[in-house]
A and B are shown apart, each in its own frame.
Chain A
Amino acid sequence: MSTVQIWTLVFVVLTFGFYIYIAYASRVKDTAGFYVASGGIPAPANGAAIAADWMSAASFISMAGIIALSNNGYAGSVYLMGWTGGYVLLAMLLAPYLRKFGKYTVPEFVGDRYNESARLIAVVCAIVVSFVYVAGQMSGVGVVFQRFLGVDQTLGVIIGMVIVFLYAVLGGMKGITWTQVAQYSVLIVAYLIPAVAISQKLTGIPLPQVGFGQIMSDLNGLQADFGLAEYTSPFTQMNMLNMILMTATLMFGTAGLPHVIVRFYTARSVRAARFSALWALFFIALLYTTAPAIGAFSKFNILNQIPGTTIGQEPEWFQSWQDVGLITVDDLNGNGVIDVDGGLGAGFELAINNDIVVLATPEIAGLPAPIVGLVAAGGLAAALSTASGLLLVISSAVANDVYYKRINPQATEARQLMVGRIAMGAAIVVAGYLGINPPGFVAQVVALAFGLGAASFFPILVLGIFWKKTTAVGAAAGMATGLLVTLAYQIWTLPIYGGSDGILGITATSFGAVGMLINFAVTIIVSQFTPKPTETMQRLVEEVRYPGRSELVAAHAEGAVDEELIHGSHDDHGRHH
């Protein structure tokens, strides 16, 4: 075992032990604890949990690499602005109101505000989006184990499954929340230490956000030397229309993702829900303002170290990633040297997988072995925390929205909890299977999941709160049209299905924002011609707009308001209290 592997093992065992201990200490006994941690999480902790929940393996492992390598610097800004800008929408348009409504899940809000058909569409959307997403996290766990500990990918995924099973099934949302707080701490420390060290080394300024500007003109010069477009120059890869639409898709998608929204139910109050959004963005911004710096530093180091190197004489980090196939060199002109003239990637002499940039950063910069191990533990924390949040969405959709609401409304608390745990266990097994045998489309669909979230959930959630006269039929029609049109467009334009150019050159990943506009239009138009929500529902929506105690909202949350008063007599099938 190498020094790096020993240190990785030390950090992995320490952090995993810590997570399981926390889950054991906060184990739950009732469904409120299992699904929403009894609504008792203080805002800063809830914010850290949201940050860990939402920043996946993609944010931690891939994003800096995507910005630096597969996008050319500026074009990577869509992820930075899109994924953080959504929190402004969440904080102002959704979080406080959904918290006041006082339900467990997004499908539950949809079912309550609209009707049962809308709930079922929402259940399907939530499960599909979550499974697609969780498969990516699980295979990320496998990659980290494989590279850093030399274990088999399959065994790596199984270890990850066992850990998530232990703390998620035992502790439910309460255990997950506190574990995620710990995981956030691990991942942010692991992300910042190498970034600070590299910034100090390259620029003499320890703050990467500041140091990153110091190398920018040199980096632009280096890129020009190798015939690449300037790192900072706009629209070299993505035109303005696609930049705007993709940023919007990621923003509205973030605000429509079920595993993020459910987090605001764990806040103590409406006020705490607002503060949770602030803390969440603060914790996320620590990583998101650092990521573009890491991307630029790594590209600078790579362009400085690699071109012109004789094949076989590369630095050690380069060779170890070559061994696992994440860096490939193809000496096209046969001169025995690595040339990057004209570009990086497929069809050129040097191709570097996006996912290695962050994991390899400490090695590229020549930092000591313990830091390499810490970064590996951080990558695992990011993947596992997101996986557990998604698994909770799946299990609550199955156990609460399908089993309790549709199949057995008379189920006792203990039985509901058991069904929740079984659903969670089953979801972990399916997620593990998808992680070991990832279907080819996963990588594509993860990016598309945000488009589907934006096109299906966002409009009906916002209209449900801000427009009392949104009708159930309108919402169901809007959600279904938004989802279907977006899905159809994505399939039509994706390379694996033939890759049409689409309309106005809008890419599959950018279309979600258009689907969202269609959803808004359909919901509003159909609502004009369909039966209005009942008086009680309109009053309820109005009550939700004001924080503080409200008799009606409290009675509704307890299920004490007569069903017929809420939804009218024509829509009472399948609901019991």
Chain B
Amino acid sequence: MDAAKRQEYWRRNLRLMAILLTIWALVSFGAGIIFVEPLNDLANFMGMPLGFWFAQQGSILTFLVLIAVYVWRMDKLDKEFGITEYEEGIHHS
């Protein structure tokens, strides 16, 4: 890869991370804690107040989806930039 392509790869990696980490913060600190009271008053989901559901179930499920999206997008990005992986052992310094 030349320098320009590398910059492009890194920029797209950072942008993906920024989007996913924003969702990460909104779901856990936002829905689970800061906005838990309005969400609890807003609706019931699966039999419990919505904010409480986010704090005990929804956030964990969202984290799982976030990592899945990250792994999938990075795989695509690697392919697009023609990066092939060597599955090799680790050397000792």
Give the contact-size bracket for chain A: 35 or more
A272 to B63, CA, bound (A): 19
Given known pairs A92-B21, A232-B49, A275-B71, the reply for A289 and B61 (CB within 8 Å) is: yes
The stretch from A177-185, A449-457, A555-563 touching chain B is A555-563
Listed by A's residue number, 6 A-B pairs whose Cβ atoms lie within 8 Å are A76-B56, A85-B24, A89-B21, A213-B45, A232-B40, A548-B78
Whether the pair A80, B59 counts as a contact (CB closer than 8 A) is yes
Given known pairs A232-B40, A247-B33, the reply for A548 and B85 (CB within 8 Å) is: yes
CB closest chain-A residue, reference B16: A92
Whether the pair A546, B93 counts as a contact (CB closer than 8 A) is no
Give the distance to chain B from A550, nearest Cβ to Cβ, in Å: 10
Whether the pair B89, A39 counts as a contact (CB closer than 8 A) is yes
The stretch from A130-138, A277-285, A476-484, A518-526 touching chain B is A277-285
Whether the pair B20, A557 counts as a contact (CB closer than 8 A) is no
| Partner of A272 from B67, B74, B87 at Cβ < 8 Å | B87
A205 to B56, CA, bound (A): 19
| Partner of B59 from A85, A240, A554 at Cβ < 8 Å | A85
Whether the pair A269, B47 counts as a contact (CB closer than 8 A) is no
Whether the pair A87, B78 counts as a contact (CB closer than 8 A) is no
What per-residue 1/0 map shows which CB atoms of A454-487 lie under 8 Å from chain B? Answer: 0000000000000000000000000000000000
Given known pairs A292-B57, A559-B93, the reply for A234 and B51 (CB within 8 Å) is: yes
What per-residue 1/0 map shows which CB atoms of B68-93 lie under 8 Å from chain A? Answer: 10110011001000011111111111
Whether the pair A546, B51 counts as a contact (CB closer than 8 A) is no
> Does A20 have its Cβ within 8 Å of any Cβ on chain B?
no
What per-residue 1/0 map shows which CB atoms of B28-52 lie under 8 Å from chain A? Answer: 1100111011001000011111011
Whether the pair B67, A91 counts as a contact (CB closer than 8 A) is yes
Whether the pair B85, A39 counts as a contact (CB closer than 8 A) is no
A356: chain B residues within 8 A (beta carbon): none
What per-residue 1/0 map shows which CB atoms of A49-89 lie under 8 Å from chain B? Answer: 00000000000000000000000011011001100110111
Whether the pair B85, A216 counts as a contact (CB closer than 8 A) is no
- Which parts of A522-573 form the interface with B (CB within 8 Å)? 542, 545-549, 554, 556-559
Whether the pair A271, B21 counts as a contact (CB closer than 8 A) is no
Given known pairs A88-B20, A244-B33, A557-B93, the reply for A547 and B78 (CB within 8 Å) is: yes
CB closest chain-A residue, reference B74: A274
What per-residue 1/0 map shows which CB atoms of A258-284 lie under 8 Å from chain B? Answer: 000000010011111011011001100
A240 to B32, CA, bound (A): 11
Whether the pair A265, B90 counts as a contact (CB closer than 8 A) is yes
Give the distance to chain A from B9, nearest Cβ to Cβ, in Å: 6
A253 to B6, CA, bound (A): 31
A269 to B70, CA, bound (A): 16
CB closest chain-B residue, reference A559: B93
Whether the pair B90, A102 counts as a contact (CB closer than 8 A) is yes
Q: Which 4 A-B pairs have the closest CB atoms?
A: A213-B47, A77-B55, A548-B83, A559-B93
Q: A residues within 8 Å of B by Cβ?
A: 31-32, 36, 38-40, 73-74, 76-77, 80-81, 84-85, 87-89, 91-93, 96, 102-104, 108, 112, 209-210, 212-214, 216-217, 232-234, 240, 243-244, 247-248, 251, 265, 268-272, 274-275, 277-278, 281-282, 285, 288-289, 292, 542, 545-549, 554, 556-559, 577
B91: chain A residues within 8 A (beta carbon): 32, 102, 554, 557-559
| Partner of B60 from A84, A210, A270 at Cβ < 8 Å | A84
A234 to B36, CA, bound (A): 7
B83: chain A residues within 8 A (beta carbon): 546-548
> Does B4 have its Cβ within 8 Å of any Cβ on chain A?
no
Whether the pair A87, B49 counts as a contact (CB closer than 8 A) is no
Whether the pair B40, A281 counts as a contact (CB closer than 8 A) is no
Whether the pair B87, A244 counts as a contact (CB closer than 8 A) is no
A548 to B80, CA, bound (A): 13
Give the distance to chain B from A402, nearest Cβ to Cβ, in Å: 15
A558: chain B residues within 8 A (beta carbon): 91-93
Whether the pair B67, A292 counts as a contact (CB closer than 8 A) is no
CB closest chain-B residue, reference A67: B56
Whether the pair B59, A84 counts as a contact (CB closer than 8 A) is yes
Whether the pair A217, B71 counts as a contact (CB closer than 8 A) is no
A234: chain B residues within 8 A (beta carbon): 33, 36-37, 40, 51-52
Whether the pair A88, B52 counts as a contact (CB closer than 8 A) is no
Whether the pair A85, B63 counts as a contact (CB closer than 8 A) is yes
Whether the pair B71, A36 counts as a contact (CB closer than 8 A) is no
A104: chain B residues within 8 A (beta carbon): 90, 92
| Partner of A84 from B53, B63, B88 at Cβ < 8 Å | B63
Whether the pair A80, B9 counts as a contact (CB closer than 8 A) is no
CB closest chain-B residue, reference A288: B60
Whether the pair A244, B29 counts as a contact (CB closer than 8 A) is yes
